[in-house]
Each structure stands twice: as C-alpha cells, then as structure tokens.
Structure 1
C-alpha cells in the first residue's frame, strides 16, 4: 500500500522503477503490474528471458536485475492493489507472497513452545518467590508478632528498613509492643507492690488482733483475782475475814493492772502516726540518767554495775522515746539476773554509728526463745517471769522505739550472760514518722 501511494507521484511505470526494485529487495515478494485489461505490463518483455507471461505464469527476472526469483517454494498468497499514476492511468499492483518462511517460523515456534512454557513457569516461580520474600514474608512475620502480643508476650520485634506501608506498620507495631510491655511491667510492679502492701497490712492487722487478744488475756487474770477477793469479802466467805490483808492484795493487783494499761496505751501511741521530734541529744547523758534511776533496784538485788560511757556522744534522736527504751533494757537486765551478778554497759562510736551494749551475767536464754523476745507478752519462762512484776511489753516497746529510729538491734547469749546491743546512726533518720513494724 505504501508502494501504491508512492507510484501516484509518477507519470509512467518506468519512472518508478527504482521504487519497484527497492520494494522487491525489501519484501522478498513476487509482484507484477497489470493494466486495466489484465495484461502484465511490468516486468516487460525487454527485461525477461522468457516471452510475455500471463497472470498465472511464472515470472523470472533477468540476472542483472535485483528482483527475486518468482519461483514459489510452497503455498502462496496473492493480493491486488489498485493504483493510479499522475497522468490518471489506472493499473493494478499484484503482490504474491511465499508462505514458506511463515511455515518455517511456525514450525520453529512450535518446536520451542515447550521450552518457552518451561521458562515461563520457572520465571513465574521466581517472581512468586520474590513476591513472597518482599510482600508475604513481612506480613507473616507481623502476624506472628501480633499473635505473641495477643498472648502478652512483647519480646518479639520486627526488624525492617522498608519505607513503604509495611515498613510503617512494622514501626507502629514495634512502638505498640514497647509501650504495652512498659505498661504491663509497670502494672505488674504496681500489682506486686500492692500485694506486698496488702500482705503487710494483713500482717499488721493480725499483729494488732494478737496484741489485743494477749492484752485481754493479761487483764483477765488480775480482774479474776480482784473479783474473787471482793466477792469473798462481801459474802463473808471463810478465810476472807481479814479485810485489810485482802484489800492490800487487791490494791497490788490494781497497781499491776494500772501498769499494764499504761503499757498498752504507750504501745498504742507508738503504733500511731504521730511524728517524732528528732533533735540532737547527748546519748551519754541519757545513759547516766537512766543508770541513776535503777540504783535502788541494783542495791535491792545486790548487783554491781560497770559503765564504759564517754563524756559526750551526740546523735539525732527522740529523747523521751530513747530514755524509755534504755530504761526498759536496764530494768530487764537487772530483773532477770540472779543476785550478786554484774551489769556491764558500753557506749562508743564507730563508722558514723553509735553502738550501745548492755550485758547482764549469770543467765542465758534458750536459742528457740531469742527470736520471740521482742514479741508482745512473750515470756521465755512463764512461771519465773510472773514473779518479776513485768507486763511482757518491755522488750516489745524497745523494739518499737528502735524501729522508730531505724536502728539495728538484737539480743544474743555470751560466755558470761546475755547481751543486748543496738546501733544508731549519728544522722537524723530520713523518715520522721513512727512506722509500724
């Protein structure tokens, strides 16, 4: 069709010979030109070895021309294109194409088709693998991480450098996992602390119940004795005629009850939330004053006392409470030591700590009883301790005061007797409120 358009620019067939030669060389097709009567006018008789041919004859070009051999090698197809030259002469261009090349190409394509299919399959697998690695694999990893998060396991992290939507989702999921992990850890810590506080409060409540139960028991015995004395005297029971004697006994019982009630009230006070007024005190002077108050008791039991106390030793403490604690320890040491024994007191400073020691000789405490000595109303030897005039709250009060001052303390057996010791910081305690044990 392009050749037919080109030929419309020429006046006769001979002028377009070059275009016809180029067409034959490029298309490798056999062609001829017929006039309006169906006669072949090109190629003409001058350029052919044979005579004039008809439309169905074989056309052979001269060896000097560049036309291809028109001998068909197989099935052919012929197309006709009408053309009109510049001088308005009408012709028909006939083009005959040999299909041998097409058939050969078809055979080649059919022969390589299995290989092409195989290559396409391999390429599909490769593309699928690449797609899986680039798209599906991160999604599977994200799914696994999200499943771990659903099980409250936030240890997994997705590592990726992608900047697309999957990369953004990965970063958001990692941030969410870190936030949830932090929140869960904080919640677990808070729950653990709450559990500890609840257990501590329950223990304190149980201690209060046990304390008041023991206090009630301690008050019950003297009340029973007092009630018996009064009932015997009022009802004229035989043996109770000497009212003065039983009134004196009843008075002694009342004094003991009064002392016990005061001790209970003091314990209730130190168990409260009252703030301590810490100030700089001379603990050496406190020891000297308390030693002076127990001089009569020492003489009564014919005991001696040795004191190794510096002239001045200052610390931050609540003076009234510390005086009460030292007094209780001294009285206990004197009461529970046999007559004629020695009470030894030492007070000194070491490593910014003040250490006090009070040792009473001639007596030892059972190893099983030592851990319970600071419990309320505990008595290692009930039959002996009943006669000492104690209430069973002396060491319990000492424990409260020592804990109030954040001091270390303890009781242990020595070669000579029993040693009470405490270590008190020279600096003011951080917490100025009395704390429950």
Structure 2
C-alpha cells in the first residue's frame, strides 16, 4: 500500500500535466468548432459580398474602354469567377446578353436559366430569393449604355453549417483521441526528467550520494541537476568534516573526562597525604598542651612538628606547581638558557645530600650548551631527576650526570645514571603517576611525596621534551632529549 502511494505521489506531476494538457487541447478544439459554427457564415457572407462588389466595380471601370461585344468575355469571366447569374438588358428591359441564358435558333426571345423566373417574353423578374445578393446598375460601354443585373446566392454556407453540426460526433472522437494521446506523450516527455531529478534529490535527502543526477540538456533542468550534484559534493564534504569534528569532539570529551577523573583522584590522594601529617601534628600539639607522657619534652616535639610542617609546605608547593602546569591558560616563559651552567649549579646544590650517603657525583657536562626554554620549569625537573638519583641509590654508589650534543647536532642529550639499583618493569610503568612510590610503606625518611616524577612529566610535556627511564647493566638511566629547534617551545601543551 505504501509503495502504491509512493508511486502515485512521485507521478502526481505527470497526472496533473496530462489532465491540464488534455483539457487545454479539448477546450481549444471546442472553441474552434463553436467559432466556425457561429462566425463562419457571417464571415463568409461579408467576404462573398465584398468580392462581388470589388469585382463588379473593376468590371464597370474596364467596360468604359470596351464596346459591348468586346466586353462580353469580361462579363462571362466575372459570372464564372463569382458563381453569379449575370445578364444585360437594354433600356426597354429586354435581355440582350447572359452567359446563363441560351437562345434557341434565331429567336430573339431569351430563355432564362432555371434559377430565373420569366415574367414576360423577353423580360426577367428582378425578385431575388432570401440568402442572396443582387446588383442592378447601368453600365457604360463605348457604343452605349445598358443595364447589368447580377445575382449570387449565399445559401451554400448555411448548408456547410448544418454539415458541421452533423459532423460533431466524428470530430469529437478525433479530438479526444488526438488530445488525450498528445497530452499523454507531452506529459511523459516533460515530466520524465523531472521525476528522475526528484528521485535523485530524494536519495540525496536520505544522505545517499552513490549516484549522480545526469540530465543531458542545457536548460533549467540541466542547471538544476548540476546544482544538485554540486550540493551533494558539498554536503558530502561538510558531513565528512562534521564527522571528523564530531569524532574529535568525542575524543576531546573523553580526554576531558579522563583528566577530570585523574584530577579527582589526584585531589583525593592529596587530601589523604595532607590528612596524615595534619593528624600527627594535631596529636603531638595536643599532647604538648596537656603535658601527656613523652610530649612533656616540648623542645623535641617542636622540632618534629617543624619538620612535619616543612614537609607539608613542600608538598603544597609541588601541588601548586602541578596545578599551574595543568591550567589551559598556562604558557611557558621562554628565554635563552645555558644548560651547562644550570646543571652545574643544580649538582652543586645537591652535593650535600650525596655526601651524606657517601655517593660520588661524576659530571660529564659539555660547556656552553644553550637552548631556548623556560628556565624555572627545567630547573625543577632536572633537580627532581638528580635528587631522585641520589635518594634511591645505595650508600657508596655513583651518580653520573651527562650533558652533550647529539652527533647530528639536532638535539641535546641529558642523562642521569645511578648505580647499584634496579627498578622493576612494573614500577617503571607507574613511577610517573602522582603519589606513586616504589617503597610501599610511604615512609618520608626513605622517599619523598611521590609527586616529583609526576611534576617532571608535566614539565617535559609543557616544554615538548621527550624522556624515558630504563634499567641498564649497572643501574638505572634517566634520559632526556631536547630539540635544538624552538618550534614547539612556545606551543601551549593544552591547545
């Protein structure tokens, strides 16, 4: 049922055009027929009378230059040409010449034609029947003046009207067949390309661009098909672009959700990390206030509380640094930095921690290596890397700090290697996560807050620097590669 409705709906324009064309053709046929029936007799009568008058006047004019005998062919020609009864009378009313009256033998008595009524011998009545036209006028010849009579019947045109009436059924059948057939062929011819374009447009509306609309003509339909094809191409391109944008949006939303999830987890861990020292600090202070047990020794626990507050301060400072890096509006403050001098200054500051564990610091730093970057961020990252190398190395081991250009001079290589220790493969994959520590007890005497390497990761991402950590034969190597070109230094990592 729906299929039938669809076919009817698709071909509606064909039916409309067929009906309209049929009605127009039939209406014109009826109008022409009615016009012939009502106006043809009047038109013919006027035309016939006009022809008779014009011919008669021309004949009168030519007769002036001819004798009566010379004018007879002229009179005969006029009568035959206009299918009129013509005869010439003398002044006494006797017919002396007529192409339609025959004289028997030598008799001078005229014999009128069948259409002429004999009034007396040698005379003809001038009475004319209805639907006829007659002229009675004197005519001048060279040899005298005579009277000419002309009579023409108009009856045949009335008979023609009656024949038209009898012919109506036959004409109607012809008109109907020709009109309907012509309308059908015309509507099919006109609407076939329109239906084709309509079907193609319907497919495009359903986002089916598998077929192009091809109308091989230079008229409006051809222009319409070309416009629809161009629209289809533009729609495909825009839909493809929208799909890509939509996919990118979905990806961005997923990333944003992941970032938000990590942010919630991060703050949950931060709350836990702050809750423990705060609880400890509160308990010790409460013990000192009420002089309970060992807390009577206030000097000892004041120092311990100071260290706890100091650790909390460092933790909050690291959290603020990470929070600043994760802001969408953050941009590095880049400047030309002498890496050689920067690393030497960092090693010198951390040399105290190395001497406490009897760790030997071996520096292999090429001089005057410069790069365009954010000095403060890079200093924090390098300081954390070298400090971790010292803190997680056993007593009496070595820490190598190397800085040099690559062989092709396209990037700067920085390495920190500490000996006497290995990191499990599972831990290597996790050490850059916030608050992750290899030492599970989370004792502050054996490690930091777990934010150091996470801060390093965020810094290197902000500065477009690549890095990796791996176990080597004698220990652990942290390698950093800085591109010498500054294309990505000013780029916002969140954009």
TM value normalised by structure 1: 0.69
Deviation at 1:292, TM superposition (A): 3.3
Partner of 2:453: 395
Cα RMSD for the two superposed structures: 5.2
Name the CA shift for 1:190/1:79 in 2 (closer, same or farther; >3 Å).
same
Deviation at 1:390, TM superposition (A): 0.5
1:253 aligns with 2:308: yes
Partner of 1:93: 150
Deviation at 1:332, TM superposition (A): 1.2
Partner of 1:374: 432
Distance across 2 between alignment mates of 1:326 and 1:404 = 14
Deviation at 1:260, TM superposition (A): 2.1
Instruction: Structure 2 unaligned segments of length 5 or more: list them.
Output: 1-51, 117-129
The answer (yes or no) to whether the contact 1:32–1:40 under 8 Å persists in 2 is no
Partner of 2:22: none
Name the CA shift for 1:39/1:125 in 2 (closer, same or farther; >3 Å).
farther
Q: What does residue range 208-223 of structure 1 map to in structure 2 within 5 Å?
A: 208-223=263-278
Name the CA shift for 1:355/1:237 in 2 (closer, same or farther; >3 Å).
same
Q: Which piece of structure 1 moves more, 377-386 or 393-402?
A: 377-386
Partner of 1:84: 137
Q: Which piece of structure 1 moves more, 109-118 or 421-430?
A: 109-118
Q: Which piece of structure 1 moves more, 203-212 or 140-149?
A: 140-149
Distance across 2 between alignment mates of 1:390 and 1:274 = 26
Distance across 2 between alignment mates of 1:38 and 1:418 = 156
Equivalent residue for 1:327, pick from 383, 391, 402:
383
Q: Secondary structure at the match of 2:441?
A: helix
Name the CA shift for 1:127/1:426 in 2 (closer, same or farther; >3 Å).
same
Name the CA shift for 1:228/1:128 in 2 (closer, same or farther; >3 Å).
closer
CA shift digits 1:320-361 (9 cap, x unpaired): 332221110011122223345443444333352212222334
Distance across 2 between alignment mates of 1:89 and 1:192 = 113
Deviation at 1:121, TM superposition (A): 5.1
Equivalent residue for 2:87, pick from 21, 24, 33:
33
The answer (yes or no) to whether the contact 1:33–1:42 under 8 Å persists in 2 is yes
The answer (yes or no) to whether the contact 1:411–1:419 under 8 Å persists in 2 is yes
Name the CA shift for 1:122/1:390 in 2 (closer, same or farther; >3 Å).
same
The answer (yes or no) to whether the contact 2:418–2:477 under 8 Å persists in 1 is yes
1:298 aligns with 2:354: yes
Name the CA shift for 1:157/1:290 in 2 (closer, same or farther; >3 Å).
farther
Partner of 2:418: 360
The answer (yes or no) to whether the contact 1:40–1:55 under 8 Å persists in 2 is no
Distance across 1 between alignment mates of 2:114 and 2:400 = 149
Equivalent residue for 2:482, pick from 402, 408, 424:
424
Distance across 2 between alignment mates of 1:321 and 1:97 = 121
Partner of 2:6: none
Q: Secondary structure at the match of 1:338?
A: coil
Distance across 1 between alignment mates of 2:288 and 2:372 = 55
Name the CA shift for 1:369/1:81 in 2 (closer, same or farther; >3 Å).
farther
Distance across 2 between alignment mates of 1:45 and 1:256 = 156
Name the CA shift for 1:260/1:6 in 2 (closer, same or farther; >3 Å).
closer
The answer (yes or no) to whether the contact 2:412–2:483 under 8 Å persists in 1 is yes
Deviation at 1:424, TM superposition (A): 1.4
Q: Which piece of structure 1 moves more, 343-352 or 36-45?
A: 36-45
| Length, aligned pairs only | 408
The answer (yes or no) to whether the contact 1:154–1:180 under 8 Å persists in 2 is no
1:42 aligns with 2:94: no
CA shift digits 1:231-270 (9 cap, x unpaired): 3344344455555554444343333223323333444455
Distance across 2 between alignment mates of 1:245 and 1:98 = 150
Q: Secondary structure at the match of 1:403?
A: helix
Partner of 1:5: 57
The answer (yes or no) to whether the contact 1:154–1:177 under 8 Å persists in 2 is yes
Name the CA shift for 1:25/1:263 in 2 (closer, same or farther; >3 Å).
same
Deviation at 1:22, TM superposition (A): 3.2
CA shift digits 1:149-199 (9 cap, x unpaired): 7x89999899898687x8998999999999999999998888887777776
Name the CA shift for 1:290/1:78 in 2 (closer, same or farther; >3 Å).
closer
Partner of 2:40: none
Partner of 1:310: 366
More helix by share: 2
Instruction: Structure 1 unaligned segments of length 5 or more: list them.
Output: 59-76
Partner of 2:463: 405
